[in-house]
Amino acid sequence: MSFIITSFLGLICILNFHQFLKAEKLDVYIVHVDPSHSDDLDTFYDSFLPTITNVAADSTNSTTDRPRILHRYRHVFSGFAAKLSAADVEAMRLKKGFVSARPERVLRLLTTRSPSFLGLNQNTGLWKNSNYGKGTIIGMVDLGVEPSHPSFADGGMPPPPAKWKGECQFRAGKGACNNKLIGARFLVPEISPPTDIEGHGTHTSSTAAGNFVAGAGFFGNANGTASGIAPLAHLAVYQACENTTSCPESAIGAAIDAAIDDGVDILSMSLGGQLHPRFADDVLAVGAYRAMERGIIVSAAAGNAGGSSSVTNEAPWFMTVGASTTDRRITVTAVLGNGEQIDGETGKGFPSIEKLELVYPRGRGGNRACLGQLDPNIRGKIVVCQNGLLVDGIGSGMAVKAYGGAAVIILNTKYEGDTTYDDPNVLPAMQVGYVDGLKIIEYLDSTPNATAAMLFKGAVIGNNQAPVVAEFSSRGPSRVTPGILKPDIIGPGVNILAAWPVSVENPTNTKSRWNIISGTSMSCPHLSGVAALLKSAHPDWSPAAIKSAIMTTADQVNIKGNPIEDEQLHTADVFSIGSGHVNPTQANDPGLVYDISPDDYIPYLCGLNYTNQEVGIIVGRKVDCAKVKSIPEARLNYPAFSIVLTGPTNQFFATTRTLTNVGKPNSSYHVEIGSTAEGVFVEVKPEVLFFQKLGDKLSYNVTFTVIRSTRKVTNTTTQTQGFIAWTSADYSVRSPIAFVI
Ligand SMILES: *[C@@H]1O[C@H](CO)[C@@H](O)[C@H](O)[C@H]1NC(C)=O
Ligand SMILES: *[C@@H]1O[C@H](CO)[C@@H](O)[C@H](O)[C@H]1NC(C)=O
Ligand SMILES: *[C@@H]1O[C@H](CO)[C@@H](O)[C@H](O)[C@H]1NC(C)=O
Ligand SMILES: *[C@@H]1O[C@H](CO)[C@@H](O)[C@H](O)[C@H]1NC(C)=O
Ligand SMILES: *[C@@H]1O[C@H](CO)[C@@H](O)[C@H](O)[C@H]1NC(C)=O
Ligand SMILES: *[C@@H]1O[C@H](CO)[C@@H](O)[C@H](O)[C@H]1NC(C)=O
Ligand SMILES: *[C@@H]1O[C@H](CO)[C@@H](O)[C@H](O)[C@H]1NC(C)=O
Ligand SMILES: *[C@@H]1O[C@H](CO)[C@@H](O)[C@H](O)[C@H]1NC(C)=O
């Protein structure tokens, strides 16, 4: 999911020289300006454009010298996106009010059982209390939507709230809005307003706020009634991507700008791909700040890169969402010749296979991936294939089928661990986790005449190991802001069944249009839906309060009651789960919240040593950090702690946190401290907080001390964890602590 951003400017200059200034290459630049120099933004923005330009370079319009501005931003930041040459930018730098310009980057999308898995059931509990998210508007920055899907039908939806100012820009015949789908804007200029051909936007939109639709399923499996997390919330779609791998920053900025203006309550952004940009240099982060400032909750995908320090969308004003499994698995059981039974997953059912020969052929080059030329002897057999970078499960199945194999068992690599997918395989197939794969190999090694049967069991609900962190879910520590723990939360993102523009099984069948896909793209809209439920139940809560409620009430244990595990089936650490797995019902009644007002981020940004200009770009006005009492990152009133205390000597860090009572009057909370690391001490003062009234704010001090002499290993950097929980008769308000020491 990483991106290499290449600038060809140097090369183009040379070409231009040799071609005698024939045509200058134009790139899309993101330009920031200082609006205090003008009252009329349009005229002001235009004043930065070159008056005479080299024509012919812009292939989409070679007859004009003013095709330049793609988007004029008003809310997301002061500036515009325009097609410019390097020389144009140089000329612009001299103009009054110029702040900065850089070529845009291109991001990408981070590609139902989940509501009831999250404890949401019709006519009871949170769904009832929050009225299913009624009255809230979720803005989806994505690929658009297929409006004809029943998930987006009008049925039973009230009209949008009076504050809604959005528009419906479907081209005639391409769709229409209604009380569910209240807005649609298309911000990518090069493509005509399409429906969502690739499906990603349809899937994420229906996950956040799709209607109840009976008869959902995938190849006859996982049958049931599908619904989004906030089935009575309204949806507004902002198409900012050309396809799943191309979301230009200029369009993302325009999408956020329009969403702020239109009046959305929640922004759902299942996209990313830029690794560790400074916030001022990241349209997503700046846009999310401006949205947050207007009271909009911004839920964003953590990324699909897996591995340490891979998390994206790191700014503290994002709700950054990692991905985990649900308790539903479309299950196949392999019965090995020695009687051992091993479970795996597939997306497509098949008549169970009686005992057949089981083989593990070597491909060309001796590797065990089923790729290219295979041994013709696999005909009629069950073939074991190593999953890998070069070929995935579906590809392995295609290769085995081409050679006449009867079925395929796909073994995960160690890295992929236990994360398996409900893929629509082309022949009877199952994918098994790494540890189970080792058992199959052990059996193959034990006998020259290995056999297996494969029994298809369909969707099995109740896997009590769930939720398990997905192999691909990106992790902390954050590179950009190590003093903030990221991701914030995990939610369902593996094998998620949701709406699709076409039927995956049968393109001519327009009735059953569903697909099962995975990614933090899928977990993000789950949390957007939860935010809508909370916003509907607590319209006066700030974005930070809603995020705090979600974080401090998150689950630490799986259905079985054991600590949540990662794909390696080890206890998951705070860098993979953040504050834990979302528990919407608990989040609705958290007792206390850690609130943050937009201005609180200014001392934090100055403390990150951002320049005044950078801070100004983010917050949208002039800031002089010399006059701001800046704070270290970890002093932000965040609902989690990330404490970096490296160095050869004893270390000490102190901070104050403030809690706001949103639970019950006259409640007394006492602190509980969990710290597992040797030589690390956490002290909280006072140890008891008494809140008399609702809305009361009380502070506590916490100090973190690392005493080197009591640590056996003194000179290596260690990641470890603990927690601080405030507990009353009715509530437990828990914050994880991540230590890098
Ligand atoms: C080029 O720009 C002119 C002026 O804005 C516009 O009238 C014309 O339709 C454009 N042509 C194309 C091919 O986009
Ligand atoms: C799911 O629904 C399809 C279509 O109605 C049906 O053919 C199939 O048998 C059902 N599967 C299960 C497991 O109930
Ligand atoms: C996605 O869009 C970009 C930009 O138009 C294009 O270069 C790329 O080939 C497209 N990718 C796919 C998979 O269609
Ligand atoms: C494996 O099969 C071969 C040929 O059918 C047979 O000769 C041999 O005894 C078998 N070996 C074992 C260990 O069952
Ligand atoms: C900011 O600069 C100060 C002073 O040089 C330094 O102590 C601090 O560690 C820096 N903070 C970050 C986040 O880089
Ligand atoms: C809280 O306690 C005070 C003092 O005991 C009492 O006067 C007040 O009525 C209580 N408030 C509530 C809402 O119970
Ligand atoms: C918390 O810390 C502040 C500043 O260091 C101090 O003034 C205050 O007395 C402390 N409060 C407690 C309860 O220790
Ligand atoms: C850290 O410890 C390792 C052995 O554990 C040692 O080789 C290394 O020299 C030590 N480094 C320092 C800076 O003390």
Answer whether residue 659 shows pLDDT above 70. Answer: yes
Q: Tell me the longest C-alpha to C-alpha distance in the chain.
A: 83
Q: Which of ligand 2's atoms lies nearest the C-alpha of 458? A: 13
Q: Checking DSSP bridges between strand 651-661 and strand 697-706, what pairing results, if any?
A: antiparallel
Residue nearest to atom 9 of ligand 7 (CA): 701
Q: Which residues of 570-608 are buried (b: 16+ CB within 10 A; e: fewer)?
A: eebbbbbbbbbbbbbbbbbbbbbbbbbebebbbbbbbbb
**Catalytic residue status for 257:** no
Structure tokens at 178: 């209604």
Give residues (CB < 6 A) around ligand 1.
60-61, 63-64, 67
**What is the arithmetic mean of pLDDT over 259-278?**
93
User: What atom of ligand 5 comes closest to residue 481's alpha carbon?
Assistant: 13
Which tokens sit at 336? 């090995």
| Res 67: pLDDT | 58
Nearest CA to ligand 5 atom 13: 608
Q: Is 709 in the pocket of ligand 5 (CB under 6 A)?
A: no
Which residues on adjacent β-strands are paired with residue 168? 184
Residue 569 pLDDT more than 70?
yes
For ligand 5, whether the C-beta of 609 sits within 6 Å is: yes
Which residue out of 227, 521, 523, 536 is catalytically annotated? 521
Confidence grade of residue 647 (pLDDT, cut at 50, 70, 90): confident
Atom of ligand 3 minimally distant from the CA of 242: 2
Closest CA to 345 of 228, 494, 204, 238: 494
Of 19-33, 214-228, 626-640, the poorest mean pLDDT is in 19-33
Q: Examine the residue annotation and report whether 521 is marked as an active-site residue of this protein.
A: yes
* pLDDT class of 20 with cuts at 50, 70, 90: very low
Atom of ligand 6 nearest to the CA of 664: 13
Query: Looking at the domain covering 328-461, what would its CATH class be?
Result: alpha beta
CA of 706 to the centre of ligand 8 (A): 19
Q: What is the pLDDT of residues 661-719, one digit of tens each?
A: 999 999 999 999 997 777 889 999 999 999 999 999 999 999 999 887 766 655 667 88
Domain ranges of the chain: 22-50+66-107, 135-326+467-588, 328-461, 592-596+636-739
The pLDDT value given to residue 6: 25
CA 273 – CA 560 distance, rounded (Å): 35
Domain 22-50+66-107 has CATH 3.30.70.80: yes
Res 143: pLDDT: 92
Is 90 exceeded by the pLDDT of residue 174? no
pLDDT at 678: 78
- Given a contact cutoff of 8 angstroms between Cβ atoms, the answer to whether 485 and 574 are in contact is yes
Residue 502 predicted with pLDDT over 90: no
How far apart CA 733 and CA 187 sit, in angstroms, is 41
**Chain-wide mean pLDDT for the chain?**
89
Q: Whose CA is nearest to atom 10 of ligand 3?
A: 243
Q: Which two tokens stand for residue 603?
A: 């001392």
pLDDT for position 63:
40
| Whether pLDDT at 18 is above 60 | no
* Cα 272 to Cα 253: distance, rounded to the nearest angstrom: 13
Which residue's entry shows tokens 């911000």? Answer: 187
Whether 4 shows a pLDDT value over 70: the answer reads no
Give 184's pLDDT tier (boundaries 50, 70, 90): very high
The letter for the amino acid at 388 is G
% residues pLDDT > 70 (the chain):
90
pLDDT reported for residue 190: 61
For 283, the enclosing helix (H) or strand (E) is helix 283-293
| Tokens encoding 281 | 């240099």
Ligand nearest to the CA of 712: 8
CB-based contact 146:501 (threshold 8 Å):
yes
Q: Is the pLDDT of residue 597 over 80?
A: yes
DSSP symbol at 295: T
Residue spans of alpha helices (H) in 572-674: 574-577, 584-587, 601-607, 612-619
Average pLDDT over residues 519-535: 97
Helix (H) or strand (E) holding 43: helix 41-46
CA dihedral angle for residue 246, residue 249, residue 251, residue 255, rounded to 10 degrees: 110
For residue 256, is pLDDT > 60?
A: yes
| Nearest ligand to the C-alpha atom of residue 717 | 8
Which atom of ligand 1 sits closest to the CA of residue 63? 1
Position 202 scores a pLDDT of: 96
75 is catalytic: no
- Token pair recorded at residue 510: 């327009």
Spatial contact of 144 and 201, defined as CB atoms under 8 Å apart = yes
C-alpha distances (whole Å) from 131 to each of 128, 136, 534, 546 are 5, 10, 10, 17
Helix, strand, or coil here: 306? coil
Which CA distances in Å does 445 have to 275, 277, 297, 440? 43, 49, 54, 9
Band (111; pLDDT cuts 50, 70, 90): low
The residue from 32, 71, 75, 200 that is catalytic is 200
Give the DSSP per-residue string, 561-595. SSBPB-TTSSBPPHHHHTT-B--HHHHTS-SEE--
Can you tell me the distance from the alpha carbon of 345 to that of 424, in angstroms, rounded to the nearest whole number? 11
Q: Ligand 3 test: best mutation among 245, 247, 271, most atoms within 8 Å of CB? A: 245
Mean pLDDT of 53-59: 46
Nearest CA to ligand 2 atom 1: 220
Contact yes or no for 491/582 (Cβ under 8 A): yes
For the segment 449-462, the average pLDDT, to the nearest whole number, is 94
Multiple choice CATH, 592-596+636-739, 2.30.40.10, 2.60.40.2310, 3.40.50.720, 3.20.20.70: 2.60.40.2310
**From the candidates 142, 265, 327, 343, which is the catalytic residue?**
142
The 10s digit of each residue's pLDDT in 94-110 is 999 999 999 999 888 87
Tell me: domain 135-326+467-588, CATH 3.40.50.1100, correct?
A: no
What is the number of the ligand 1 atom nearest to the C-alpha of 66?
5
CA distance 9 to 28: 12
Q: CA 597, CA 442: separation in Å to the nearest integer? A: 58
The amino acid at 281: D
Measured in Å, residue 632 CA sits from the centre of ligand 5 at 8
CA distance 430 to 456: 9
In 10 A of CB 343, how many CB atoms? 18
For residues 271 and 142, the answer to whether their CB atoms sit within 8 Å is: yes
Confidence at residue 705, expressed as pLDDT on a 0 to 100 scale: 92
> pLDDT tier at 12 (50, 70, 90 boundaries)?
very low
Q: In this structure, what are the phi and psi dihedrals at residue 35, rounded to the nearest 5 degrees?
A: -75, -10
The alpha helices in 340-433, defined as continuous H runs, are 393-402
CA of 701 to the centre of ligand 7 (A): 6
What's the 185 CA to ligand 1 centre distance in angstroms?
A: 21
CA dist 249 and 258 (Å) reads: 14
From 113, 219, 223, mutation site for ligand 2 pocket: most ligand atoms within 8 A of C-beta: 223
> Which residue has the least CA distance to atom 8 on ligand 1?
61
CA distance 580 to 578: 5
Which residues, judged by CB distance below 6 Å to any ligand atom, belong to the binding site of ligand 4?
A: 447-449
Spatial separation of the C-alpha atoms in residues 138 and 528, rounded to whole Å: 7
Give pLDDT, residue 455.
Answer: 96
Looking at ligand 3, which residue's alpha carbon is closest to its atom 4? 246
Residue 489, token pair as written in the block: 């939360």
CB atoms within 10 A of CB 168: 16
> Whose C-alpha lies nearest to ligand 6, atom 5?
666
Q: Alpha helices, DSSP H only, in 106-228? A: 114-117, 125-129, 200-209
Residue nearest to atom 13 of ligand 6 (CA): 665
The token pair at 739 is 């230590």
Write the residue with the smallest CA distance to atom 12 of ligand 4. Answer: 449
**Ligand 5 atom nearest to CA at 633:** 13
Say if residue 10's pLDDT is above 60.
Answer: no
> How much distance in Å is there from the Cα of 419 to the middle of ligand 2?
26
CA angle 557, 561, 565 (to 5 degrees): 45
**Pocket around ligand 7: residues whose beta carbon is below 6 Å from it?**
656, 685-686, 701
User: Of 480-484, 625-629, 648-652, which range is least confident?
Assistant: 648-652
Q: Count the neighbouring beta carbons within 10 Å of the beta carbon of residue 293.
A: 18
Q: Are 358 and 376 in contact (CB under 8 A)?
A: no
What pLDDT does residue 711 have?
A: 62
Angle at 680 between CA 675 and CA 724, to 5 degrees: 35
Distance of alpha carbon 65 from alpha carbon 57, whole angstroms = 10
d(CA 109, CA 142): 7
Q: Which of 555, 498, 549 is nearest to 521 (CA)?
A: 498
Q: Which residues, at least 6 apart from 599, have a Cβ–Cβ distance to it below 8 Å? A: none
Distances (CA, A) of 39 to 34, 70, 72, 461: 11, 21, 15, 60
